[in-house]
Amino acid sequence: MMLLQIAGDAATTLSGFEEFQKMSVKLLVRLLIDLTAVFILVRFIYYPIYKHRELFFTYFIFNIVIFLISFLLNKVDLSMGAAFGLFAVFSMLRYKTEEIAIKDMTYLFLVIALGLVSAVTKIKDTADHIEYIFLIGINAVVLLITYLLESNIFMKKESVKTILYENIEMIKEGKQDELMADLKLRTGFNVHRYSIHKIDFLKDAAQIKIYYYDK
């Protein structure tokens, strides 16, 4: 009896080890797929346009934390609703010390979504390698759509800059065309519209936002 009990305990231990090994492989493969997608998104789509190197750390840490939490909770029967609830909680986070631009926040949502999708996506009664191929396909679609929307394929990409304009006489009523021509001349951009945000009569200057299309 004792030998049978020992054999049973050994079989249980071996089965547990095999399950742990299988889960570790899934974790590493999914994490690799996830980090590859995030790297392509941040390095080859986001950075060439916005040049914000300081947000690299934030994007990767948010993605990894979301991925690990979602993957581990998913192993204890985390429902899809709870997973998206977790996504919503992280998505609502705000930085109190520094304002984040809308586009930067959008990319933050994207890296969170990639981590969530990479961690919890499942296809019932399907081999692991099929799930991995499906997951790569989903990430590729997200990356492709993001790239196309950021490019000039569908519409011209409008950029905006805030400048301090010192020729305050030009902002008077009836001089809009002259002001537009002067803004183009001074900035070198093909400005197509502008908005005056602040006028300082003490300094004879105005804060103006200029809008132009990237080439």
Whether the CA torsion 22, 70, 55, 134 is positive or negative: it is positive
* Beta carbons of 26 and 75 less than 8 angstroms apart: no
pLDDT at 9: 52
Which residues make Cβ contacts (< 8 Å) with residue 57, sequence separation at least 6?
Answer: none
> What is the pLDDT, as a whole number, of residue 72?
83
- Helical packing angle, 128-150 and 2-39, nearest 10°: 20
Q: Are strands 205-213 and 158-165 parallel, antiparallel or unpaired?
A: antiparallel
Model confidence, pTM: 0.73
Q: Which residues are bridge partners to 193 per DSSP?
A: 211
Cβ within 8 Å of residue 86, ≥6 positions away: 66, 69, 70, 73, 116
Inter-residue contact 211 to 202 (CB < 8 Å): no
Cβ atoms within 10 Å, residue 118 = 27
SS3 per residue for 80-147: HHHHHHHHHHHHCCCCCCCCCCHHHHHHHHHHHHHHHHHHHCCCCCCCHHHHHHHHHHHHHHHHHHHH
User: Can you give the residue ranges of every domain in the chain?
Assistant: 2-150, 158-213
d(CA 171, CA 178): 9
pLDDT of residue 96: 47
How high is the pLDDT of residue 67? 93
At residue 23, the pLDDT reads 80
Alpha helices in 1-98 (DSSP H): 2-39, 47-50, 56-74, 80-91
User: What pLDDT shows up at residue 10?
Assistant: 47
The predicted structure's pLDDT at residue 50: 85
List the strands of the sheet with 191-200, edge to edge.
Answer: 158-165, 205-213, 191-200
Report the C-alpha dihedral over residues 13, 15, 21, 26, rounded to 10 degrees: -140
CA–CA separation, 103 and 40 (whole Å): 17
> CA 150, CA 203: separation in Å to the nearest integer?
38
- The whole-number pLDDT of residue 98 equals 57
Q: How many CA atoms lie within 13 A of 112 on its CB side?
A: 19
- Give, for all 215 residues of the chain, the pLDDT tens digit: 554 455 455 445 545 556 667 788 899 999 999 999 999 999 999 999 888 888 899 999 999 998 998 888 876 555 556 556 665 655 555 544 456 778 888 999 999 999 989 998 888 878 888 999 999 999 999 999 999 998 878 777 788 889 999 988 888 888 999 999 999 999 999 999 999 989 988 888 999 999 998 76
